[in-house]
């Protein structure tokens, strides 16, 4: 049986999730070639039946072309086209194919992309066209019905001319619907709630979500009476956030994790300062790594000739990282302190992997800067070309304001107070210039390998005689969590994309703003594709919702994985993020050897994106403190200057203005392996 699939242990439920309907193919057609699928598999999204022929006449194909065919100006921006397609998807889910697509497109454009108004407009037009037919049917019904009182006849005529909405009843999961007719006529046919022959079948089959819209579009004011149970049942077909029960996110955030606050922490510093060992030992002392696993790491690291790297292997999980003894990618894990839940990101210190370090730092709220206290090692990291300075500048430029400096390997200098003070005085001066307040920086002497002063205050007599401050864990617990942008529209920057079991695929990243619930529709930019969030995972546990600040994994359906790259931004379809290739920004130039001129090539680092770009214009030099223009159209920019420039990227990037979204308005510029500037977006050119 080795050649065959394991049918006994195979979980078939993963292939068919709840949102797959009988008769539709699963999201991934594993066994069918694209050409066969195109020939035999019918997809309403690709070619609607009612719309295929008119489109061919206009020389257009597919629903995406629909936007171009029926637009009065024949010109739509990419954002408007995305909004149009999103509106059409929602209307199609409600109306099925009872209304021609041309009418739906026109209605959406007439109502300026408002789905509810467009539905009202389409249905009101449909009801006017059907009015004549209904009048004729009313006359026929009046002739066939005999032996009834005048009151019932007049009531019947009135009801046939003006369609009324039924009182919907919900019993279990079934619901009956149709248009209300007088009791006498209904009883004659034996079914009180059955729609009568005089009413058109397409009106009777309109989905439950449209009943309210129909009642609004008819001239006389009719009351829709819906049972209380119906309010609790989310309307099928419409997956927008309005249809599902809204949650009070701020209240729920306070209750979550037993009232503990969430904090994103990045560990930075020069290569071989002991970052991974320090945090690995901290996790072991907190009980996040069991003794059996730790013993295995100790044995394996001894065999590899790297006995001192055992704790670093807790966070350096890949074979290459362990073999080289260098962190290469951002390791992510979670631990808890008495008052907070910490998402820990272990950033690489080697200068070759600074793009990965920027990705980690862009997702952090606070940072720990690890420096090596040994003679010569601190100086190597702190002098020009060392990563201690560059990392300090980078995290400040990316919005981190609170910093803990862990002076590591203090046991190698016998916990000397003079060495500790020498390091803190040099660093303090530099960090103040970088923009950190003295009150927001704390210095802690530690030993990552020995475990001194990590979870409990140091017991060594050499340390206790001069140091009375916090240990590392107490300092992490005392950080203030930043304000979360829960009220803003949803934004998530993709840090990783991978295929999961079952249908759909997964993306991971930090939610920068807003919140998300399972089943909501999302728009991915720049690909300009919509999809549905089928599942949300937070710290490896499935949840129903997540909010700004959370590092989540989303399971998505309704989109091809090929279209999503690291750096894409998922947003609310109603309030999409702007996409551009040209934008203006205010930048601060760091220590650079070559002056920056027009046409200077740079690498733009923005959230998780790394994109080649060119400085196309030098607009003006600004005063550092006041921001006033001191020189217009400079020929070049030198180190330490504050300037307004225009950048052009090779591919479109999704950006926000700094004044609207601070998290999504910052970026870094690098050139030939060193960071040359930090900036904020001031203007986006379409």
Supply the pLDDT for residue 124: 82
Q: In this structure, what token pair is assigned to residue 244? A: 């599902």
Show the CA angle centred on residue 440, arms to residues 439 and 446, nearest 5°: 105
Show the CA angle centred on residue 470, arms to residues 466 and 471, nearest 5°: 100
For helices 62-69 and 101-110, give the axis angle rounded to 10 degrees. Answer: 50
Confidence bin at 22 (pLDDT 50/70/90): low
- d(CA 506, CA 554) in angstroms, rounded, equals 5
Q: How far is CA 452 from CA 292, 310, 349, in A?
A: 22, 17, 23
Least confident of 104-108, 650-654, 681-685: 104-108
Least confident of 48-52, 201-205, 411-415: 201-205
What is the distance, to the nearest Å, from the Cα of residue 335 to the centroid of all Cα atoms in its chain?
23
Least confident of 119-123, 230-234, 485-489: 230-234
Q: In this structure, what token pair is assigned to residue 145? A: 């019905």
Q: In this structure, what token pair is assigned to residue 544? A: 């129903």
Q: In this structure, what token pair is assigned to residue 24? A: 């539709």
pLDDT above 90 (res 442)? yes
What is the distance, to the nearest Å, from the Cα of residue 682 to the centroid of all Cα atoms in its chain?
23
Least confident of 229-233, 416-420, 432-436, 519-523: 229-233
Confidence bin at 486 (pLDDT 50/70/90): confident
Nearest to 569 by CA among 611, 621, 507, 624: 507
Phi, psi (rounded to 5 degrees) for 371: -120, 150
**Chain segment 145-184, per-residue pLDDT in tens:** 444 444 444 444 444 444 444 444 343 443 444 444 444 4
Give the HSE-up count for residue 425: Cα atoms under 13 Å, Cβ half-sphere. Answer: 6
Supply the pLDDT for residue 532: 93
Pick the most confident of 28-42, 51-65, 246-260. 246-260
CB 407 within 8 A of CB 444: yes
Enumerate long-range contacts of 640-644, CB under 8 Å, 24 or more apart: 640/589, 640/591, 641/588, 641/589, 642/586, 642/587, 642/588, 642/589, 643/586, 643/587, 643/589, 643/618, 643/619, 644/584, 644/585, 644/586, 644/587, 644/619, 644/620, 644/682
**Chain segment 497-513, per-residue pLDDT in tens:** 988 777 789 999 999 99
For residue 492, what are the β-bridge partners? Answer: 511, 570
Supply the pLDDT for residue 316: 84
Least confident of 43-57, 375-389, 631-645: 43-57
- d(CA 513, CA 487) in angstroms, rounded, equals 8
pLDDT above 70 (res 207)? no
Q: For a pLDDT cut of 70, what percent of the chain falls above it?
A: 72
Backbone angle region of 96, left / alpha / beta, with phi > 0 → left and psi within -120 to 50 → alpha: left
Confidence bin at 621 (pLDDT 50/70/90): very high
**Chain segment 555-610, per-residue pLDDT in tens:** 999 988 999 988 899 999 999 999 999 999 999 998 888 899 999 999 999 888 88
Supply the pLDDT for residue 63: 44
Supply the pLDDT for residue 99: 82
Least confident of 20-24, 99-103, 190-194, 628-632: 190-194
**Chain segment 293-307, per-residue pLDDT in tens:** 999 989 988 988 888
- d(CA 115, CA 117) in angstroms, rounded, equals 6
Mean pLDDT of the chain: 77
pLDDT above 90 (res 208)? no
For the beta carbon of residue 150, count every other beta carbon within 10 angstroms: 7
Supply the pLDDT for residue 170: 40
SS3 per residue for 40-52: HCCCCCCCCHHHH
CB 222 within 8 A of CB 180: no
- d(CA 400, CA 333) in angstroms, rounded, equals 19
Burial of 127 (0-12, 13-18, 19+ CB in 10 A): middle
Q: What is the mean pLDDT of residues 611-626?
A: 92
**Chain segment 246-292, per-residue pLDDT in tens:** 677 777 777 776 778 889 999 999 988 899 999 999 999 999 988 89
Supply the pLDDT for residue 537: 92
Q: Is the pTM of the predicted complex or chain greater than 0.85? A: no
Decide which of 367 and 661 is more confident.
367
pLDDT above 60 (res 232)? no
Confidence bin at 133 (pLDDT 50/70/90): low
Nearest to 684 by CA among 451, 525, 496: 525
CB 268 within 8 A of CB 369: yes
Supply the pLDDT for residue 583: 95
Residue listed under structure tokens 């920086």: 441
Local structure of 157: helix, strand or coil: helix
């Amino acid at each position: 049986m080795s050649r065959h699939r394991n049918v006994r242990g195979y979980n078939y439920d993963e292939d068919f999730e709840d949102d797959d309907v009988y008769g539709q193919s699963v999201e991934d057609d594993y066994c069918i070639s694209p050409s066969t699928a195109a020939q035999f598999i019918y997809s309403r999204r690709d070619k609607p039946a009612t719309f295929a022929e008119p489109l061919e006449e206009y020389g257009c194909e597919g629903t995406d072309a629909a936007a171009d065919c029926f637009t009065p100006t024949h010109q739509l921006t990419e954002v408007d086209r995305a909004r149009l397609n999103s509106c059409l998807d929602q209307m199609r889910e409600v109306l099925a194919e009872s209304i021609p697509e041309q009418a739906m497109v026109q209605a959406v454009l007439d109502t300026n992309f408002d789905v509810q108004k467009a539905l009202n407009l389409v249905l009101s037009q449909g009801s006017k066209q059907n009015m004549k037919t209904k009048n004729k049917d009313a006359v026929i019904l009046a002739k066939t019905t005999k032996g009834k009182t005048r009151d019932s006849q007049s009531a019947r005529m009135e009801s046939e001319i003006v369609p009324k909405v039924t009182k919907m009843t919900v019993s279990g999961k079934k619901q009956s619907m149709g248009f209300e007719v007088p009791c006498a006529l209904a009883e004659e046919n034996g079914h009180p709630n059955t729609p009568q022959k005089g009413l058109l079948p397409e009106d009777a089959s309109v989905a439950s979500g449209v009943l309210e819209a129909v009642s609004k579009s008819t001239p006389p004011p009719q009351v829709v009476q819906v049972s209380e149970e119906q309010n609790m049942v989310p309307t099928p077909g419409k997956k927008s956030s309005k249809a599902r029960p809204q949650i009070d996110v701020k209240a729920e955030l306070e209750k979550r994790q037993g009232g503990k606050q969430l904090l994103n922490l990045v560990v930075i510093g020069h290569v071989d300062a002991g970052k991974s060992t320090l945090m690995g030992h901290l996790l072991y002392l907190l009980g996040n790594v069991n003794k059996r696993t730790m013993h295995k790491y100790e044995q394996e690291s001894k065999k590899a000739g790297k006995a001192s790297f055992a704790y670093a292997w807790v966070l350096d999980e890949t074979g290459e990282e362990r073999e080289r003894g260098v962190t290469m990618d951002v390791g992510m894990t979670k631990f808890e302190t008495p008052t907070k839940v910490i998402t820990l990101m272990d950033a690489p210190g080697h200068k070759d992997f600074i793009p990965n370090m920027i990705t980690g730092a862009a997702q952090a709220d606070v940072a720990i800067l690890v420096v090596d206290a040994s003679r010569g090692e601190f100086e190597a990291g702190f002098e020009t070309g060392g990563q201690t300075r560059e990392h300090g500048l980078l995290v400040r430029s990316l919005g981190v304001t609170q910093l803990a400096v862990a002076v590591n390997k203090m046991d190698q200098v016998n916990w000397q107070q003079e060495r500790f003070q020498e390091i803190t005085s040099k660093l303090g001066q530099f960090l103040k210039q970088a923009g950190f307040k003295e009150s927001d920086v704390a210095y802690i002497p530690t030993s990552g390998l020995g475990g001194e002063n990590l979870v409990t205050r140091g017991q060594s007599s050499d340390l206790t005689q001069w140091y009375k401050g916090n240990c590392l864990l107490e300092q992490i617990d005392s950080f203030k969590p930043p304000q979360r942008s829960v009220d803003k529209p949803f934004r998530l920057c993709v840090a990783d994309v991978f295929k999961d079991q079952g249908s759909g695929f997964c993306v991971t990243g930090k939610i920068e703003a807003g919140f998300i619930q399972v089943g909501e529709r999302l728009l991915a930019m720049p690909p300009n594709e919509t999809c549905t969030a089928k599942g949300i995972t937070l710290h490896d546990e499935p949840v129903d919702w997540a909010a700004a600040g959370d590092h989540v994994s989303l399971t998505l359906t309704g989109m091809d994985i090929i279209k999503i790259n690291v750096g894409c931004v998922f947003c609310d379809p109603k309030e999409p993020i702007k996409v551009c290739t040209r934008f203006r920004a205010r930048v601060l130039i760091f220590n650079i050897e070559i002056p920056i001129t027009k046409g200077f090539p740079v690498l733009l680092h923005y959230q998780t994106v790394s994109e080649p770009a060119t400085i196309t214009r030098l607009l003006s030099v600004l005063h550092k403190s006041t921001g006033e223009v001191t020189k217009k159209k400079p020929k070049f920019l030198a180190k330490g200057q504050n300037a307004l420039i225009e950048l052009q990227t090779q591919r479109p990037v999704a950006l926000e203005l700094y004044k609207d979204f601070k998290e999504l308005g910052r970026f870094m510029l690098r050139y030939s392996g060193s960071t040359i500037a930090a900036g904020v977006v001031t203007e986006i050119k379409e």
